Structure 1
Amino acid sequence: MATRSLFHSLRCRLTNNGVVGSNFIRNAESSSGFSKSYNADAAIGGSLVEESEEKDDLKSRIFRLRLPKRSATTVLERWVGEGNQITINELREISKELRRTRRHKHALEVTEWMVQHEELKVSDADYASRIDLISKVFGIDAAERYFEGLHIDAKTTETYTSLLHAYAGSKQTERAEALFKRIIETDSLSFGAITYNEMMTLYMSVGQVEKVPEVIQVLKHKKVSPDIFTYNLWLSSCAATFNIDELRRILEEMRHDASSNEGWVRYINLTSIYINSSRVTNAESTSPVEAEKSISQREWITYDFLMILHTGLGNKVMIDQIWKSLGNTNQKLSSRSYICVLSSYLMLGHLREAEEIIHQWKESKTTEFDASACLRILNAFRDVGLEGVASGFHLLLVYNKCSLENEISS
């Protein structure tokens, strides 16, 4: 009963201070074609299959195929042969669900049906989807051949970006750089931030973080507006190379960006809290956390910034997944990681989860609980004007008997 009362009190404090709000949804351009699938999606797909077995619509028939060797094309032909109609929107929805559940071969067959029937008006996004699916089913070479074989009118922003995404996903750096050169030299097409984000994501994934600012320079030269993902990659590269002065300059630029909104403000504040609380400095050592495991401070910081990004997006599910993934490794979690996830949950108002992180940290056999770090988190929230969160965190620490040596004033 006491615990329930405590959480009610804390929630009231956070809500009254405007901390708990609706989730910030990723913009449509960034999420439409290239979002990654996770195990949760597979679970959703499983429920769709079970439900579909009691129906006899086109979607249900395709989902009942289950095995990749069975043909979705045959199902489509039989459906039409029975006198039924098929709309392109219906096919797009089926293909989307198949992709979500990683049934790429069947999704590819559905898109193949779409392009083979001229009465269906195929969009640029449909061609882009096919490139992505071909790369997954038949490999990068096949996807490249398909792209090069497209009519000039079908070589659009979407299809170029889809092929670049495929290269980035398979870490084909040279191919990606060659395609990116073609992209920036193409005057007839206009590319948005997502295309540049693909290149920066690739450089981060292969450890060439020093090339991220080069992509930013091209983006600015082309007068392309960065989105929150652009800024996150840029800031992450600065943190990974311990260029904290540049990081703070970028935060100021982001703060004054015309696109700034509630999610951006949350992201900016949390980044400041993380940097100040975890004491990342320009002179930071880049020695491995565990030499035999070759996991460097830079790599841990990159994971931290992924959590910070999803906090800005209001995406608690992804924070949960990232933290669970880190915990499932054989690596020693750093104090920075605890600081990051704890601050993330506090920023979003998830107090039970924040308390659970405190318990995990205190019970850890490899990472000693750092009361002074909690004090820095507390002060950092106050520094960015989130007094309500700081007060709530203070109560949480007191309730869990976290000794701060009388350094926190009530």
Structure 2
Amino acid sequence: MGSRAFFLSLRRARFVEGFGAANEWSPRRLLSSGGAGSELVEDAVVVEEGDDLKSRIFRLRLPKRSVTNVIQKWVGEGNGISASELRQISKDLRKSQRYKHALEVSEWMVTNEGFELSDKDYADRIDLMTKVFGVDAAERYFEGLPTSARNTETYTALLHSYASLKLSDKAADLYERIKDSNLAFSALTYNEMMTLYMSIGQVEKVPSVVDEMKRQKVAPDIFTYNLWISSCAATLRIDEVERVLHEMSQDSNSNEDWKRYRYLTRIYVISGQLSNLESGGLVEAEKGITQREWIAYDFLVILHASLGKKERVDQIWKSLRMTKQKMTSRNFMCVLSSYLMLGHMKEVGEVIDQWKQATITSFDNSYCSRLLEAYREIGLIDTANAFHMLLIEKNCISGNDP
């Protein structure tokens, strides 16, 4: 048996073995090209003149319908198909949360010798297997991969699976294997561990991950800095936040996104959101969200604002207001400053109105005055002037105030 045939048989065996009878659907039925599945497909898919493969697949609404049979029928009609097309279809299916169908597209590539899987293909399969069959199946698939396929992409994908499910012990064990692997990892891998530590409240472990990155000479990205600063802020280490901001300014990879992030974080510190927390700042909030977690939300808003992702700021802010938690002045000021940095004055005005209407956190003109001075202090004079005019318009300050 040649090496190519051996790896194909290994992939098939591991795929079926990993997804046994414990699952609701049998993978043999799901991923086979024959049997009852073909009857279901014939009933489900109407072939329309001029349609393409993606259209046919997306007309399969139920998970039990077989994508494999749709692809086989497409090819059987004499149509060609490329690896890039299949990857894009799988990506679109994932965006639509149709993970089982996306996995079938991937499996079809595995079982057809005309397609060679890339490192990213293997990593995507681990993520999809976690979603469809559970993390144990993804873990068995990873361990069954040939050594050459157990690389930075697949290690990171499995680590992401553990981290997203908050499986801290499994993640820690895999992280140790990663450190001993002699492979070159990017900031993404370390960010996964930092995200996990933040999500389970072990913020004190984040700096050790940063130290490991530095030992391995891995360049941090803006997400690294966001997680690092969030961990410092969560424990109210303001001096450490300032030190990290200074390190960011010296980073050779610094760009406009990082500049906006530094601005926003400086505003956050200058205007007093950290230093003026309620006494005992890490106490539990009314419904169980700690001040640490609120600060992490603030820095998530700051991160997306720095990347120019207004829609994500909108989503996070809407989610925060729907939690029925006690909103603090710090939260209002954080989102105000983010919309200001993005130049969306309409939204700035809406947040001021929401703050004034809040029943728990009273609007205080002095907070907006501090925010105004913070923008002036870092030299964003035009933004400060626009905010000043809006505050006058909203009767937050008088026209005589500086």
If the length of structure 1 is used for normalisation, what is the TM-score? 0.84
Please say if 1:305 is aligned against 2:303: no
Letter in 2 for 1:133: L
Change (3 A) 1:74 1:335: same
Question: Offset at 1:53?
Answer: 7.8
Q: 2:141 aligns with which of 141, 146, 153?
A: 146
Cα-Cα RMSD: 1.6
Show the counterpart of 2:355. Answer: 361
Question: Offset at 1:128?
Answer: 0.3
1 CA distance for matches of 2:398 and 2:48? 58
1 CA distance for matches of 2:135 and 2:327? 35
Instruction: Please show how residues 48-127 of structure 1 align to structure 2 within 5 Å.
Output: 56-127=51-122
Q: Which moved more, 1:278-287 or 1:146-155?
A: 278-287
Question: Offset at 1:396?
Answer: 0.3
2 CA distance for matches of 1:390 and 1:255? 23
Preserved CA contact (<8 Å) 1:288 1:294: no
Aligned length: 355
2 CA distance for matches of 1:207 and 1:253? 25
CA deviation vs aligned residue, 1:365-397 (integer Å, no higher than 9, x gap): 111111111011100001111011100000000
Show the counterpart of 1:236. Answer: 230
Question: Offset at 1:54?
Answer: 8.2
CA deviation vs aligned residue, 1:141-170 (integer Å, no higher than 9, x gap): 000000000001111110110000000011
2 CA distance for matches of 1:405 and 1:382? 17
Instruction: Please show how residues 121-140 of structure 1 align to structure 2 within 5 Å.
Output: 121-140=116-135
Instruction: Please show how residues 6-405 of structure 1 align to structure 2 within 5 Å.
Output: 56-187=51-182, 189-281=183-275, 285-288=280-283, 290-291=285-286, 293-403=287-397
Q: Which has the larger radius of gyration?
A: 2
Preserved CA contact (<8 Å) 2:285 2:291: no
Question: Offset at 1:290?
Answer: 3.2
2 CA distance for matches of 1:317 and 1:131? 29
Show the counterpart of 1:42. Answer: none
Letter in 2 for 1:103: R
CA deviation vs aligned residue, 1:282-327 (integer Å, no higher than 9, x gap): 9962343634x12221111010000000011010000000000001
Question: Offset at 1:83?
Answer: 1.2
Change (3 A) 1:170 1:221: same
Q: Which runs of 5+ in 1 are unaligned?
A: 1-51
If the length of structure 2 is used for normalisation, what is the TM-score? 0.86
Question: Offset at 1:405?
Answer: 9.5
Question: Offset at 1:268?
Answer: 0.2
1 CA distance for matches of 2:398 and 2:367? 10
- Identical amino acids, percent of aligned pairs: 59
Letter in 2 for 1:215: V
Preserved CA contact (<8 Å) 1:160 1:183: yes
SS in 2 for 1:290: coil
Q: Which moved more, 1:52-61 or 1:191-200?
A: 52-61
Change (3 A) 1:404 1:240: farther
